[in-house]
Structure 1
Amino acid sequence: MKKKLMLPVLSLIVALGVSACGAGKTETNNAAGSASPSAAASASPSAAPSAPTEVTIKHKLGETKVKTNPKNVVVFDFGILDSLDKLGIEVTGVPQANIPPYLAKYKDAKYKNVGSLTEPDFEKINALKPELIIISGRQQTGYDELKKIAPTVFLGVDTAKYMDSYTENTKTLGLIFGKEKVVEEELAKVTASIKTVSDKVKAQNKNALIVLANEGSLSAYGAGSRFGIIHDVIGFKPADENIKVTTHGDPISPEYILEKNPDYLFVVDRTAAVGGESSAKKTVENELVKKTNAFKNGTIVYLDPNYWYLSGGGLISVAEMVKELDAGVK
């Protein structure tokens, strides 16, 4: 009798033991399951921040290694500043004198004044600890000194190949700041607008003369010059094929303008660009010039010197320059 009773009791004990073991295993699994993500995270090391990426930029003055997305950028070229502004890229230091009105926000105290276009303040620049300095023609004599402070890249426009140079400079910015796609889109817009104007100009088959007015004097610019985009890219035939390509232009007189008798006369007012009182119209539209085709046909076009003289070669400025030419073609 006792043996008969013992067997069910033992079976019950075994069953309870198995049940308990099963419950314990389930609890353990649940605990392990809920803890799994954090356990895995702690088990695998967190991704270490990648080292700063570097790109090598070849430019007119040499070859420079630059960090991508550099900090405390110092910019001396207003065309490049224009492009960076369009791309939404912040800078730290700029030469604050003679900044074009459309870039006036860079006169704010949040941006550091780093000297003038022709005289960089090396001490102030050094204090900013920049990771990139961008220069153009007016600062190239200080290149060796600037590159001691930080990687320095020359991104001035080569007027002999304006659009190629402008495109290359803009793509360089895209590469450095990770904006390649946006740059391609913006360049495509400019290219399309140029074709529209160029087609109109070629259909007219007219010539043009480009002059810079400065404090009552005049100088001419032709193909390959700083304003040569009018001939080389847009397609106006030069009224004079023999204008010397110089920074300050070829000095001319009203008699010269009458002699060349251009169909279009494009005028850039330097005096207004550097803060003086505009006198270009008074200088240009004298009795001799009034005898030209340009005056008679209403095709003397006064170009905005902020785009043409101060900040050419920018995403904003080039687009606006093309718009002005489009508006001027009749």
Structure 2
Amino acid sequence: MKKLLFPVIAGALVLGACGSEESAETTTGSAAEKEEMTITHELGETTLEKNPQSVVVFDFGTLDTLDALGIEAAGVPQMNIPSYLSKYEGDDYKNVGGLKEPDFEAINAMDPDLIIISGRQADLYEEFEAIAPTIHMGVDTQNYMESFEQNVTTLAELFEKEEEAAEQLETINASIDELNEEVTSQDLEALVTLANDGKISAYGAGSRFGIIHDVFGFTPADDTIEVSTHGQSISYEYIVEEDPQYIFVVDRGAAVGGESSAKQVVENEFIAGTQAYENGNIIYLDPDYWYLSGGGLVSVQEMVNEIHTGIQ
């Protein structure tokens, strides 16, 4: 998997008014100073004014965080929006195409102040940048919490929501500490899987779902799983051989608008012999949080909550 670099605040510049003493006296107190931020991200360095008003967001994790901070996006790709963000499917928000097929004509017509993209749109960065300041914001799965927190604090400073963000991050970190202590004290072992069209893939440490191992503390049932976007294809025999205490399942079909088939795929006569099945420890994770919008203030907290509930 390509390692994602998280945005870093390079600095802030305060632009003051200039001109003659006479004009300065005339305008004193009549207009607020405009403050800029420079954000360094994987695809470049972007400078823009703070508190952009019209924002187009292609990353659902970022949309999640902005919404949690009380900031609404003006335009989003309206297909496959996580259900808890379904308000963005409404007519009050502009549909800017698909995650992989942006509607540049619609975006250009909006004349946005900022565009936020992630991995699926990275190859189109120059086309976005030609329309408006554009930043690439994604989570580094091999350094999940640090990059997640940096993304949140970058957005919080850009929109001057530092206090709200700090409070929510404090709550999330406290719940993670509690979960990690419970998991590690019992030395729990897990296999993380993705069910998709009758096939199963496994994800280990450092992967898109590696937070379960790297942050929450579960020992990988197999520590040799290759890190890749689509996971390592596995068989039922493999699962039986590894015999994990817990099996976590993300249903891709349900995430992309298809029918949920994960239970039928995962639970069969082979898997019935594993300790995870026998102990009721096959946990189906909400794909809205895990597949569509991971890395947001709401989704990360809900990910913690789901795992904590699953091991009770």
TM over 0.5: yes
Distance 2:140 2:95 in 1: 26
**Residues 239 and 262 of structure 1 are in contact (CA less than 8 Å); yes or no, is this contact kept in structure 2?**
yes
Distance 2:34 2:262 in 1: 50
Report the equivalent of 2:145: 163
Distance 2:79 2:287 in 1: 15
Distance 1:314 1:87 in 2: 11
Matched, 1:244 2:226: yes
TM-score, length-normalised on structure 2?
Answer: 0.90
Matched, 1:271 2:253: yes
Report the equivalent of 2:50: 68
Q: Match for 1:112 among 89, 94, 99?
A: 94
Opposite residue 62 of structure 2, the aligned amino acid is I
Matches within 5 A, 1:89-108: 89-108=71-90
Change (3 A) 1:45 1:220: closer
Report the equivalent of 1:12: none
Opposite residue 286 of structure 2, the aligned amino acid is D
- Deviation, structure 1 residue 60: 1.1
Matched, 1:50 2:32: yes
Change (3 A) 1:145 1:44: closer
- Deviation, structure 1 residue 51: 3.5
Runs (5+) with no aligned partner, structure 2: 1-24
Where relative contact order (Cα < 8 A, 6+ residues apart) is larger, the structure is: 2
Report the equivalent of 1:135: 117
Change (3 A) 1:314 1:45: closer
Matched, 1:203 2:185: yes
Distance 1:265 1:119 in 2: 34
Q: Match for 1:225 among 202, 207, 211?
A: 207
Q: Match for 1:280 among 258, 262, 268?
A: 262
Report the equivalent of 2:7: none
Runs (5+) with no aligned partner, structure 1: 1-42
| Count of residues in Structure 1 that have an aligned counterpart in Structure 2 | 288
Identity, % of aligned positions: 58
Opposite residue 256 of structure 2, the aligned amino acid is V
**Residues 264 and 299 of structure 1 are in contact (CA less than 8 Å); yes or no, is this contact kept in structure 2?**
yes
Q: Deviations over 1:25-53 (max 9, x none)?
A: xxxxxxxxxxxxxxxxxx98651313421
Opposite residue 99 of structure 2, the aligned amino acid is L
Report the equivalent of 2:242: 260
- Deviation, structure 1 residue 206: 1.7
Report the equivalent of 2:167: 185
Distance 1:142 1:44 in 2: 45
- SS of residue in 1 equivalent to 2:130: helix
The runs of 4+ residues in structure 1 deviating greater than 6 Å are none
Distance 2:195 2:181 in 1: 29
Opposite residue 152 of structure 1, the aligned amino acid is T
Report the equivalent of 1:310: 292
- SS of residue in 1 equivalent to 2:289: helix
- Deviation, structure 1 residue 67: 1.0
- Higher-Rg structure is 1
- Deviation, structure 1 residue 76: 0.2
- Deviation, structure 1 residue 121: 1.2
Report the equivalent of 2:6: none
Structure having the larger proportion of residues in strand: 2
Q: Deviations over 1:226-251 (max 9, x none)?
A: 00000000000000011111111101
Structure having the larger proportion of residues in helix: 1
Distance 1:46 1:60 in 2: 40
Q: Match for 1:81 among 40, 63, 68?
A: 63
> Aligned-pair RMSD on alpha carbons?
1.1
**Residues 66 and 176 of structure 1 are in contact (CA less than 8 Å); yes or no, is this contact kept in structure 2?**
no
